[in-house]
Structure 1
Amino acid sequence: MSLALRPRLWTRRFFFCHRNYNVAVEGELNNDKLMEEQLVNDLFGGTGGSKKIPDKLENTSTLLFPGQGSQYVGMVKNLLKYPNVKDMFDVASEILGFKLLDLCIHGPKNQLDKTIYCQPAVVVTSLAGVEKLQAETPEVLENCMAVAGYSVGEYAALVFSGALTFEDAISLVKIRALEMQKASDDTGGGMISLVGGAKTKFNLACTDAVEYCHEKLGMERVLCRVSGYLAPNIRTVAGHRAALEYLSSQKQNYHIRRVQILPVSGAFHTALMRPAVKKMKHALKAIEVKEPMVTVYGNIDGKPYKDSADIVEKLLEQIIRPVLWEQTIHAMYAQYKNKAPHTYELGPNHQLGVLLKHCNGKAWKNYLPVDNRDNRTADNENG
């Protein structure tokens, strides 16, 4: 399908209440100015750019977009019946150069798990989940006050907010995934998740792992560090595989209760990914990043993005800095003193829901996953 002839994708759709309507397919809205004005009035309460705030905070919603590691073969099957989902995958496939939908549905798993495939797969599947909400509960999108995405999921969150177009986001994710895969191939890194307790010393464990590789294995350059603060006493650690193997074998010495290898192919959110930053910097310069029309919380500091320049800067830093997800969740729900908003996890699996339960039990009581694969309390690799 030609991009120039694509249908009204992520442009004039009613559900996308945070999009800027003047980016629709050429000529489409110009022939229907009256409908455009009505849509803006319905969605924003006027022709301005500020979304109406619901009378009560508890009637609002927040959306969470998962990252790499949440993928599984068949993850989009139940979403194909909703409007535009097939078209989204067709457009993404043209940009990516491979049949994304076929890979998501049929696998094989070892291919889907590769960075260059799973990153765009998770992003498009997450945005397809928005279509499901529009079809079944459009008020969730109309009353959305904040969004956040884990790692590559941040690109899906930025598309929803209107800061990135769908096409630009897929193009960026394509480059991001390719460059991170190259960096991974060159360094041989990996990631693990660690579940600890009050006595767990995550940073000491990483330091000792590096020393072990230096002294016992004779390795010169070794990296092992916390790459994600997921929830209280739950971390991801990334680095060279020898260091990660040390942590797995010596976990009891650091009061680590559980170690699990993550289905990713590199040491993401560490300095080992620095080669990917240069190409991403050029790619971000080539596109237009707009002001988000809904609050988007960033990964590297857990704070809302200030403006488009802030988005560009932090998307680059995100590649090599830890994800502060626990801090992000605390910031998102701090304003809700009594009843928390309804929280929806878009995309495959329920990893972010499990983390939400650990971070904020009150918010988790109003949590619903768009993916109905398993019961919402199911465990997963993030603890």
Structure 2
Amino acid sequence: MSIAWVFPGQGSQVVGMGRDLIAASAAARQIFATADETLDFGLSELCFSGPETDLTATENAQPALLTTSMALLAAMRELLGDRLEPPIAVAGHSLGEYSALVAGGSLDFTTALRLVRRRGELMAAAHDGSMAAVIGLDAGILEQICQEVSAALQHHNQLHGTVVIANYNAPDQLVISGSVVAVEHASLLAKSRGAKRVIPLKVSAAFHSPLMVEAAEGMAQAIASATVRDLDIPLIANVTAEPLRDADDVRREMVAQVVAPVRWIASVQHMVAMGVETFVEIGPGRVLTGLIRRIAPAARLINVATFEDVRALTAMQPV
């Protein structure tokens, strides 16, 4: 049964994540120790004990999630050894794409850790814009709304009159991103045209939109000096929902995904078309498991968020 490994993005962090791995897995302990040494502060203690406000800060949440996901993967490899069936594809949601790149052999863990710390700093420094989740509205209708609002605001010379779909998460869950006024206008139109709910998100900037161009430029500088290798396992890219293997393509993806939408629906559909029957979400929470259930109802879904989840894999075939 063909498998894909998928890795969650920012928002899945929770105080206590990874703490149960420390006593149970030497390989996971080493991941957390490496993270503390690489970043020169107690990231592991922040994961295990918080405080939540510090863990949630973008510049901390991003390396914390990468580290916890990689600790879980290390524990899987340690416990299962040759019984761990390799995936035919890897993917991650936004930040989770860096975990996928480590799992797929393109980045080593310390390189990815430095890059996501920088990514978090750049994104935290952006203070322009907002985002909102739109529930129960067709993507085509929402795309038209975004185009209408952007054109109207730009015609009236409104600064940053831009709103776009930032996340195509599931058929009934989309996220818009842009200037505060544009997101407000688009939210009202979405409700008037049939959206079941529109939920403002607690973010400080317009992630995955053209307003993040300065952060993308900063990431381009950071990636230029990083060691990036060809992938051993194809990555289904956020930006195109197509498989990547080449290192140069990976570099372009890491820059582009800062300003481009996360095409998660199409990514999952592509993996299903490749023959993936089992999706293993590796990381805290169950966000991607829930989204994939709505995109590919026939898929087998496995969630690995704790050491007990890792242990449970030993009873599964294939794993």
Match for 2:77: what amino acid? Q
2:90 corresponds to: 147
Deviating beyond 6 angstroms after TM superposition, the runs of 4 or more aligned structure 1 residues are: 211-216
SS of 1:181's equivalent in the other structure is helix
Q: Does the Cα contact within 8 Å between 2:232 and 2:245 map onto a contact in 1?
A: no
Segment of structure 1 superposing worse, 265-274 or 92-101: 92-101
- After TM superposition, give the deviation of residue 114 of structure 1 in Å: 1.8
Match for 2:194: what amino acid? H
Q: Does the Cα contact within 8 Å between 2:18 and 2:306 map onto a contact in 1?
A: no
Match for 1:75: what amino acid? M
C-alpha distance in 2, partners of 1:212/1:111? 39
Alignment of structure 1 residues 71-82 onto 2, 5 Å: 71-80=13-22, 81-82=24-25
Q: Does 1:66 align with 2:8?
A: yes
Count of aligned pairs: 307
Segment of structure 1 superposing worse, 97-106 or 302-311: 97-106
Q: Between the two proteins, what is the percent identity of the paired residues? A: 30
Q: Does the Cα contact within 8 Å between 2:191 and 2:197 map onto a contact in 1?
A: no
SS of 1:201's equivalent in the other structure is helix
2:66 corresponds to: 123
Alignment of structure 1 residues 232-247 onto 2, 5 Å: 232-247=171-186
Q: Does the Cα contact within 8 Å between 1:151 and 1:299 map onto a contact in 2?
A: yes
Q: Does 1:195 align with 2:131?
A: no
Segments of structure 1 that go 5 or more residues without pairing to the other structure are: 1-57, 376-383
Q: Does the Cα contact within 8 Å between 2:21 and 2:306 map onto a contact in 1?
A: no
SS of 1:345's equivalent in the other structure is strand
Q: Does the Cα contact within 8 Å between 1:281 and 1:316 map onto a contact in 2?
A: yes
2:209 is aligned, of 245, 270, 273, to 270
Query: Over aligned residues, Cα RMSD in angstroms?
Result: 2.6
1:289 corresponds to: 228
Q: Does the Cα contact within 8 Å between 1:69 and 1:262 map onto a contact in 2?
A: no
Q: Does 1:104 align with 2:39?
A: no
Provide the TM-score with structure 1 as the length reference. 0.73
Computing the radius of gyration from Cα coordinates, the structure with the larger value is: 1
Match for 1:295: what amino acid? P
C-alpha distance in 2, partners of 1:287/1:200? 38
1:343 corresponds to: 279
Shift of the 245–73 alpha-carbon distance from structure 1 to 2, 3 Å rule, reads farther
- After TM superposition, give the deviation of residue 106 of structure 1 in Å: 2.1
Provide the TM-score with structure 2 as the length reference. 0.87
Q: Does 1:371 align with 2:305?
A: yes
Segments of structure 2 that go 5 or more residues without pairing to the other structure are: 310-319
Q: Whose helix proportion is higher, 1 or 2?
A: 2
1:253 corresponds to: 192
- After TM superposition, give the deviation of residue 255 of structure 1 in Å: 1.0
- After TM superposition, give the deviation of residue 219 of structure 1 in Å: 4.3
Match for 2:3: what amino acid? S
Shift of the 233–320 alpha-carbon distance from structure 1 to 2, 3 Å rule, reads same
2:272 corresponds to: 333
